[in-house]
């Protein structure tokens, strides 16, 4: 391939078009205001905003973060101003950029998920990301994501109220991720995102107390990447839905692994905390990878892993 010819980076995804496959992961990017001072959000394929709930949530007491080998545990606990405040105070800002806005939602009950879906799709977001995999709250959250019947109930309820595509975010904290993926597909989901964080724990051996106030938290960063690639691979083989892959992506090479495993798009999260422009590093690196490897269309990488039998 001619190295100077443009690589097609655009990806059709659940009825929308991502201008490129690189998004930022929910909860690591706030509502874009902070990193928006540091790079052009308009270069991103999509922004998954901080997890929203119907009513404002204060979140968990500190400490909320603990470092681990090439990873981190967090227990932020879905601190957010509530969906209405988001629509009023934050969405107009994000709308000023040439990128898709994906609202990440969490509820304590199926009814709350449905109400959020109605409110936010009417409010003008491009897509919903249904978080049934948050390990950091008492009710709901992870519970919905580990029990196939609850996962299906949430998905159906959200689909009934949503007027935009619905992406369901899966937890790696399950025995069989393919089963949950299939259930959510049958319930009407338009796309999947995975993985959310892995449950973890750290203990201060001096004080004999957990480092996080809440004891347990969600593990993210490069430490989870092989688990995430495996989950994407298993989910991609189980369903026909488009997949947004994430978990420890720091560079283009990491992102390519996710694409080869079956992801259509990727999200960058924890890597931002070390490299503020990590999503652009990934994006520019993907372009360079494609040019160097004769790939003229990024879409051809999806699921292109070769298995020698």
Partner 1 sequence: MIVTVLSNESLRPGASDLRIRADASARRPRAGQFAHIACGDALLLRRPISLCDEEAGVWRFVFEHKGPGTRYLAARKPGDTLDILGPLGRGFTCEPEDLPTLLVGGGIGVPPLLLAARRLAGTAHAVLGFRAASLAVLTDELASLCARTAFCSDDGSLGTRGFTDAVARRLLSETAYARVLACGPRPMLRAVAGAARAAGVPCEVSLEERMACGVGACLACACRVRAGAEETFRRVCLDGPVFDAETVVW
Ligand X SMILES: Cc1cc2nc3c(=O)[nH]c(=O)nc-3n(C[C@H](O)[C@H](O)[C@H](O)COP(=O)(O)O)c2cc1C
**Which positions touch partner 1 (CB under 8 A)?**
27-30, 33-35, 38, 50, 58-68, 70-72, 74, 76, 79, 221-222, 270, 272-274, 276
Q: Is 251 a catalytic residue?
A: no
Does position 281 interact with ligand X (CB under 6 A)? The reply is no
Q: Looking at 134, 231, 251, 290, which residue is catalytic?
A: 134
51 is a contact residue toward ligand X (CB under 6 A): yes
Does residue 266 interact with ligand X by CB under 6 A? no
Which does residue 237 bind out of ligand X, partner 1, none, counting CB within 5 to 8 angstroms by kind?
none
With CB under 5 to 8 Å by kind, the binding choice for 131 among ligand X, partner 1, none is ligand X
The stretch among 19-27, 159-167, 253-261, 288-296 that binds ligand X (CB under 6 A) is 19-27
List 130's β-bridge partners, or say none.
Answer: 105, 168
- Work out whether 75 is an interface residue with ligand X (CB under 6 A): no
- With CB under 6 A as the contact rule, which of the stretches 33-41, 143-151, 171-179, 265-273 interacts with ligand X? 265-273
Query: Would you say 247 or 295 has its CB closer to ligand X?
Result: 247
Contacts 24+ apart (CB under 8 A), 147-154: 148/179, 148/180, 148/183, 149/183, 150/110, 151/180, 151/183, 151/184, 151/187, 152/183, 152/184, 152/186, 152/187, 153/110, 153/187, 154/107, 154/110, 154/113, 154/130
Nearest distance in Å: CB 3, ligand X = 30
142 makes contact, choosing from partner 1, ligand X, none, with CB < 5 to 8 Å by partner type, with none
26 interface partner picked from ligand X, partner 1, none, CB below 5 to 8 A per type:
ligand X
Per rule CB under 6 A, is residue 140 in the interface with ligand X?
no
Taking the complex as a whole, how short is the minimal distance between the CB of residue 79 and partner 1, in angstroms?
5
Out of 21, 140, 148, 247, the residue judged to bind ligand X by CB under 6 A: 247
- Which does residue 274 touch among ligand X, partner 1, none (CB within 5 to 8 A, set by kind)? partner 1
Q: Are 263 and 302 in contact (CB under 8 A)?
A: yes
- Residue 196 partner contact from ligand X, partner 1, none using kind-dependent CB cut-offs of 5 to 8 Å: ligand X
Q: Is 245 in the site for ligand X (CB under 6 A)?
A: no
Active site members: 134
Using CB under 6 A, list all residues that contact ligand X: 25-28, 50-51, 74, 76, 78, 104, 131, 134, 169, 196-197, 220-221, 224, 246-249, 268-271
């Amino acid at each position: 391939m001619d190295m100077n010819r443009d690589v097609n980076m655009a990806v059709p995804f659940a009825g929308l078009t991502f201008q490129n496959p690189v998004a930022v992961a929910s909860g690591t990017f706030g509502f874009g205001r902070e990193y928006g001072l540091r790079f052009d959000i308009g270069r991103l394929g999509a922004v998954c905003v901080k997890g929203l709930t119907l009513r404002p949530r204060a979140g968990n007491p500190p400490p909320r973060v603990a470092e681990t080998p090439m990873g981190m545990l967090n227990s932020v606990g879905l601190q957010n101003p509530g969906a209405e405040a988001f629509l009023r105070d934050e969405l107009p800002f994000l709308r000023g950029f040439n990128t898709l806005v994906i609202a990440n939602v969490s509820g304590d009950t199926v009814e709350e998920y449905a109400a959020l879906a109605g409110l936010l799709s009417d409010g003008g977001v491009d897509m919903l990301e249904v978080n049934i995999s948050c390990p950091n709250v008492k009710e709901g959250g992870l519970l919905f994501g580990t029990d196939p019947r609850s996962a299906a109930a949430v998905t159906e309820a959200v689909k009934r109220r949503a007027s935009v595509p619905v992406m369901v975010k899966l937890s790696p904290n399950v025995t069989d991720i393919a089963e949950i993926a299939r259930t959510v597909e049958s319930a009407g989901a338009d796309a999947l995102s995975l993985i959310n964080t892995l449950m973890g724990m750290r203990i201060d051996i001096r004080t004999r107390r957990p480092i996080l106030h809440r004891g347990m938290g969600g593990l993210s960063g490069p430490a989870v990447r092989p688990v995430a690639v495996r989950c994407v691979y298993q989910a991609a083989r189980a369903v026909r839905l488009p997949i947004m892959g994430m978990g420890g992506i720091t560079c283009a090479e990491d992102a390519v692994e996710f694409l080869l495993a079956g992801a259509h798009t990727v999200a960058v999260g924890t890597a931002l905390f070390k490299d503020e422009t990590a999503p652009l590093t990934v994006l520019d690196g993907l372009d360079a990878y494609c040019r160097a490897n004769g790939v003229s269309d990024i879409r051809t990488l999806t699921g292109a892993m070769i298995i020698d039998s």
